[in-house]
Structure 1
Amino acid sequence: MELRSEQPADRPAILRLARSAFGTDDGAEPPEPGLLAALFACEEYIPELSVVAMDGGEVAGHCITTRAWIGSEPALGLGPLAVLPERQRRGIGAALLAETRRRALLLGERVIVLLGHTSYYPRFGYRPAAALGILAPDPRWGDHFMALPLAGPVPSGPFRYAAPFAGL
């Protein structure tokens, strides 16, 4: 498996991956492909933090992390993270999270925030964001709203994702 920065030519495969990973039994279009398309085009897009996992010449996984804010301080918002269903549980998601963390540290970022499964992300160091003083956009998210401190002091206050998230 190779991890590398996403290129514009990868985007059709990434959108197909998101449809596959987040698809529903009723065949309805999940929101993630549209969100990804909007994230690729937004001001908060950070090219170095859009990472693909290539496996056998195919995009097997993708993770995007975009500029976000805690109060007026910069932060990162991770997601969506997707792995082809037939390649899940093989470490691709873990590798994407580790690579995202490594790249964010190199960029001097202080914290990554996400909304995700409490049974998955804590094993990678994520913990409830509220414990760090980071307030979720929706308080109903509870412990599913998590943060990973990286370097330096973590700001506290209300969290705001990149603009395309507001359309969900």
Structure 2
Amino acid sequence: MKLTVRDERHTDIVAIADVVRAAFGHDDEAKLVDQLRNTGALTVSIVLVCDERLIAHASASPMTWVDGSTRFVTWALAPVSVTPTEQRRGYGTKVVWATIERCRQIGADILTVLGNPAYYQRFGFEPASQHGMAIDGKEFGDAFMVMELTKGALREAHGLLRWHPAFDDLDED
């Protein structure tokens, strides 16, 4: 079994949509990835291929500070997807680590995620509220988390954030 973690290629687009759709059980997140890609906002897109079959995907896209600040480059890790038959084998962990590393390499200061704290804290994510950060107009409690990619960023950054407008189309039910 050969596992390869790499950046997405143009030839992966259909397979990525299939994996995301299968992982979430509907089209919303697959459409989100396509919309981010089509608007040039899919900043990072990492895939895991097993024996030439794409089985996992994670991506990151830019967030904006409500006050207009550009001091800290802040991206959102979303979505993270693994084909259901391949879940619980560490593949999600592999694409998350690779996405974090790519975000660090290309200049993000802060990475955010909305998800299960028990899962994401293992990567170093912490509740955003501990750092005076939140999503504009939404309350997620400890599920909205942040990770410092540039030393000192979380000490100085605080305020309200917005996801890329493509996230507005996600069903919140």
Alignment partner of 1:163 is 2:165 = yes
Per-residue deviation, 1:138: 4.4
Question: 1:102 & 1:45 partners in 2: Cα distance?
Answer: 16
Question: 1:127 & 1:2 partners in 2: Cα distance?
Answer: 29
Query: In the alignment, what sits opposite 2:23?
Result: 21
Question: 2:4 & 2:116 partners in 1: Cα distance?
Answer: 25
Which SS does the other structure have where 2:140 is aligned?
A: helix
Per-residue deviation, 1:161: 1.0
Q: Give structure 1 stretches of 5+ with no counterpart.
A: 24-28
Farther off after superposition, 63-72 or 90-99: 63-72
Query: In the alignment, what sits opposite 1:31?
Result: 28
Q: TM-score, normalised by structure 1?
A: 0.89
Question: 2:136 & 2:114 partners in 1: Cα distance?
Answer: 10
Give the letter for the 1:35 counterpart: L
- Say how many residue pairs are matched: 161
Query: In the alignment, what sits opposite 1:103?
Result: 102
> Residues 98 and 58 (structure 1 numbering): CA distance in 2 closer, same or farther, change over 3 Å?
same
Question: 1:98 & 1:54 partners in 2: Cα distance?
Answer: 15
Alignment partner of 1:8 is 2:10 = yes
Q: Deviations over 1:55-105 (max 9, x none)?
A: 111111000101112342330111000001111111111111111111111
Question: 2:62 & 2:139 partners in 1: Cα distance?
Answer: 23
Alignment partner of 1:55 is 2:50 = yes
Q: Check the 8 A contact 2:6/2:48 in 1, yes or no.
A: yes
Q: Give structure 2 stretches of 5+ with no counterpart.
A: none
Per-residue deviation, 1:51: 0.4
Give the letter for the 2:164 counterpart: A
Which SS does the other structure have where 2:49 is aligned?
A: strand
Give the letter for the 2:169 counterpart: G
Q: Check the 8 A contact 1:51/1:62 in 2, yes or no.
A: yes
Runs of 4 or more above 3 Å deviation? none
Measured on the aligned residues, the alpha-carbon RMSD in Å equals: 1.4
Q: Check the 8 A contact 1:50/1:62 in 2, yes or no.
A: yes
Which SS does the other structure have where 2:136 is aligned?
A: coil
1:40 is aligned, of 11, 23, 37, to 37
Q: Deviations over 1:37-68 (max 9, x none)?
A: 1111123222xx10000011111100010111
Which SS does the other structure have where 1:45 is aligned?
A: coil
